[in-house]
Chain A
Amino acid sequence: MITAIMILAALVGGYFVGLSRINAIAPDGPYALRAQPRFHAAFVAFCTAAPMVALAIIWALYGPGLINADVIATLPADMQAYEQGQLLLYLEDARTMAAGGEVLREHTDELAQIAVTMGDVTASWTMKYLIAAIAVGIAGLLTSRKVLHAQFAARVAIERIIYAFLIMCALIAVLTTFGIVMSLIFETFRFFEKVSVTEFLFGLQWSPQTAIREDQVGSSGAFGAIPLFAGTMLITVIAMFVAAPVGLLSAIFLSEFSTNRIRGMVKPLLEILAGIPTVVYGFFAALTVAPLMREAGMTLGLDVAAHSALAAGVVMGMMIIPLVSSLSDDVMNAVPQTLRDGAYALGATQAETIRQVVLPAALPGIVSAMLLAISRAIGETMIVVMAAGLAANLTANPLQMVTTVTVQIVTLLVGDQEFDSAKTLAAFALGLLLFIITLALNVIALRVVQKYREQYD
């Protein structure tokens, strides 16, 4: 908040300082200048604010780390020996307490003491930051003020700055991908130091709970990812069984059979279906669909698990219907009318035209739509977290409980955590696999369209 006000003040202040300076340089009006006075003023404003913005970003990113490091240095030696993750959680609570909040941790004198230290250290670092921000702002102001002269190409300078900003924006997209890949790979490597690659990729046993006592059953912790992927595939297949026919048929109806009026009414409804957050679908699956299926199964004499793969899969299918239908609708609309007219001229009925002319022409696009839908189903998290199970069963029975990759990532990382245990690192390995699989599916989908698309016009 203070930072925002300071930067705003720097912009306004810089602008007026620059304006007065340039008016002093050219008292006879702007015609003696190479650029208009407002460009000179804007240049000074930028040079004042930019270092402050840069400092603010650095502070936002590195500030917490600096404060933590200082607080850790004041801690007794036995606490410093804690694992980094636990220490961070502890400091987090101290920070909340210092800010006057409530924490769930037991209120010990030690914690209160650390909270006080935390408050002091935070205050001193914040002070340092504010002073530094003002200093760099003033430095920028003075330097840029000196740079101004009658022949200074202020507009060109500003346009260069804007250009650099634009490139930076485009770079952020690349940096994000880079960040994802690097962070996932880094943590995955640390995971493979503890668990072998082959065990992870081909192991049939998944039970990441490293037990508290040595002699407990299954205390070893097994990290075989096969059951997770089997579960993911099972739910995805069920979802596609729902979404593929329903989505494709509605797309055919909307693009080929329906009148414009019906289309105009149905399309927004499907868009609503697409816009509903997945957590809502999850709630629906867990509290409405799953009990319904359990009851239906009971009347049929089947034993349906409370968190059956079927319920999660069906609801996930519901969620994907609009994706399939809108993508297929688009590709079918892209098939030129002349093809249809040709088929009609040969005496084909509308259904025959669609089945034998439109669908084959649109096939690459439809295949790519299905691949995208599958990729979406594999990466979907909330529905399965809420409606699928936690136990990793290796089964193809949709009435049983299975777990998925995303469910495990969430269970491994939510709640108390130590960042260095094999358990949390496993989540990153799963994340990397998930990322690779969805990326591959997307690339294949793109390639299918590029390679097999017929160019009609």
Chain B
Amino acid sequence: MTDLNTSPVPSSVTSVHATDAARQRLNKRKAANKRFRLYGMAGVVIAIAALVMLLSTLVVQGYSAFYTHTMELTITLEQDVLDRNNTQDPEILARANYRKLVKNEVYSLFDDVTSRRDKRAVSALISNGAIDALREAVLDDPTIIGSTITITAPVSDDIDMLLKGHIDRNVEEQLRRVSDRQIAWTDSLVERGIIKRAFNTYFFTQGDSREPELAGIWGAVKGSFYTMVVTLLISFPVAVGAAVYLEEFAAKNRFTALVEVNINNLAAVPSIVFGLLGLAIFLNFFEMSRSAPLVGGMVLALMTVPTIIIAARAALKAVPPSIREAALGVGASPMQAVFQHVLPLAMPGILTGTILGLAQALGETAPLLMIGMVAFIVDIPGGITDPASALPVQIYLWADSPERAFVEKTSGAIIVLLVFLITMNAAATILRKRLERRW
């Protein structure tokens, strides 16, 4: 005890914390602290830089998919070429030589096109879409044969790329896809106002095509829509039912534990395995149609169910027990208490989870490849059993195509897909903010 009675440290003696060595140590520790903080910041910056790089690449590559260049052609529908005997038979009209009319019109735009090679080079300026447009116009109304009509058709994909600056004019002629003369012709057409820049309606109204300038996403968008409808109709009731059962009615027993473990594991199964399931069971065992949104929707529904169940259970759990007890207290049956009181209160949370689950399913590609939704499909699907593609699968298919023009289409399709996804996510966030109640 005597030690305590010694006098306090005299002020002249410096404390151990105030020596130069101590100060250095402290500064070192403070510097380490700062460094660590910087590392953390670097992590966030890298993550955000990755996002910015990804999105900016897509936008830079993809915005040009939303416009195109079209050529205006005034074509006389010669009776001799199309329907010599004036039969007006649709069979004959469908197979008539529209190509000749289109080509002759294009040749006539220039004075210097005489040789065979020139003619071929000049006709490569315009897309085959011109022929289709002409045929459609005639089939719609065969009486116009003999008259002169004006059609607007896209230029070929190479010329479109040239005008969008994706083909370098300074490269040696042999190394690029368009010749010097084609460039000269194109420039003169642009000058004369025959080639114009326009909104790319083909991209938003057409199905897939081998010709990049005619390919569109509408078929894929509709396919995705039908798939999502099937997914929603199956996964929503099943998931909500399972969540209600597990959260409100299930006794704590082995069966319940098994179901819970199952659901958590299913949520982590790779999506391609669900594709294998769909292939083995729906296609091979039940022999359902390949490439149909019905099967795609069923597979995606199985994948989405665990996601929605987890969200729905959290939402049900958040409803305070007093609500149930009050309902039971005034004479409601347990079923009525759940379905008339608890479930409506949990609905915003459940809907948020459902939208997020569907957004995930909308971007899913691998399972759809497994069940054959990867075929080249030109027709726009009209129902859930028609062969169809889906937006992400279309992106995959186009990404594989060698033509330069498809890079732009792919990025454009990705932008459309991301717009859908961001809209869905924003809707989910707003729903959560607006309707969710804090108890």
Contacts and interface: CB of A to CB of B under 8 A. Distances in A.
A-side interface mostly: helix
B245 A167 contact: yes
A274 B378 CA distance: 32
Nearest to A283: B399
Given A170-B241, A252-B40, A409-B276, A176 B259 contact: no
Given A173-B242, A406-B272, A431-B276, A250 B425 contact: no
A435 B246 CA distance: 26
B417 A180 contact: no
B33 interface: yes
A245 interface: yes
B200 interface: no
Contact of A438 (B270, B379, B400): B270
A273 B387 contact: no
Interface in A412-439: 413-414, 419, 427-428, 431, 434-435, 438-439
Interface stretch (B5-13, B159-167, B359-367): B359-367
Contact of B290 (A61, A92, A372): A92
Contacts, number: 278
A258 B44 CA distance: 11
Contacts of A159: 333, 335
B238 interface: yes
A434 B40 contact: no
Contacts of A177: 262, 265-266
A386 interface: yes
Contacts of A168: 241
A288 interface: yes
B410 interface: yes
B276 A428 contact: yes
Interface stretch (A62-70, A195-203, A335-343, A391-399): A62-70
B305 A176 contact: yes
Contacts of B271: 379, 381
B50 A273 contact: yes
A269 B49 CA distance: 11
B348 interface: no
Nearest to B339: A162
A89 B246 CA distance: 42
A162 B262 CA distance: 23
A318 to B, nearest CB: 5
A245 B411 CA distance: 30
Interface in B337-390: 339, 359-360, 362-366, 369-370, 372, 374, 376, 378-379, 383, 386-387
Contacts of A355: 36
Contacts of B383: 1
Contacts of B47: 246-247, 250, 269-270, 273, 321-322, 325
A101 B365 contact: no
A179 B303 CA distance: 13
Interface stretch (B116-124, B133-141, B181-189, B278-286): B278-286
A241 B242 CA distance: 39
Interface residues of A, number: 106
B293 interface: no
A99 to B, nearest CB: 7
A60 B376 CA distance: 25
A410 B50 contact: no
Contact of A442 (B239, B259, B265, B305): B265
A180 B274 contact: yes
A277 B417 contact: yes
A181 B60 CA distance: 44
A452 interface: no
B421 A275 contact: yes
B418 interface: yes
A286 B421 CA distance: 22
Q: Which of A248, A249, A435 has the most CB of B within 10 A?
A: A249
A163 interface: yes
Q: Which of B269, B305, B364, B410 has the most CB of A within 10 A?
A: B269
A438 B399 contact: no
A266 B366 CA distance: 30
Interface stretch (A11-19, A24-32, A212-220, A344-352): A344-352
Contact of B241 (A165, A376, A380): A165
B125 interface: no
Contacts of A99: 386
A102 interface: yes
B168 to A, nearest CB: 16
A173 B277 CA distance: 14
Please list the 9 inter-chain residue pairs (A to B) with the smallest Cβ-Cβ separation, ordered nearest first: A379-B270, A277-B363, A249-B43, A253-B40, A169-B241, A183-B280, A351-B36, A166-B245, A381-B366
Interface of A: 1, 60-62, 64-65, 68, 88-89, 92, 95-96, 99, 101-102, 104, 155, 159, 162-163, 165-174, 176-177, 179-180, 183-184, 186-187, 245-254, 256-258, 266, 269-273, 275-284, 286-288, 318, 321-322, 325, 349-352, 354-355, 372, 375-376, 378-382, 385-386, 406, 409-410, 413-414, 419, 427-428, 431, 434-435, 438-439, 442-443, 446
Given A375-B268, A385-B369, 18 more contacts: A61-B288, A104-B376, A167-B245, A172-B238, A179-B277, A180-B277, A247-B47, A249-B42, A266-B44, A275-B359, A284-B58, A349-B30, A379-B271, A380-B270, A385-B366, A386-B396, A406-B270, A428-B276
28 contacts: A60-B294, A64-B288, A64-B289, A104-B376, A163-B335, A166-B241, A166-B242, A168-B241, A170-B259, A176-B277, A247-B43, A249-B40, A257-B41, A266-B48, A277-B362, A278-B365, A279-B392, A279-B395, A280-B395, A280-B418, A284-B57, A318-B50, A351-B37, A379-B273, A385-B369, A409-B370, A410-B369, A414-B369
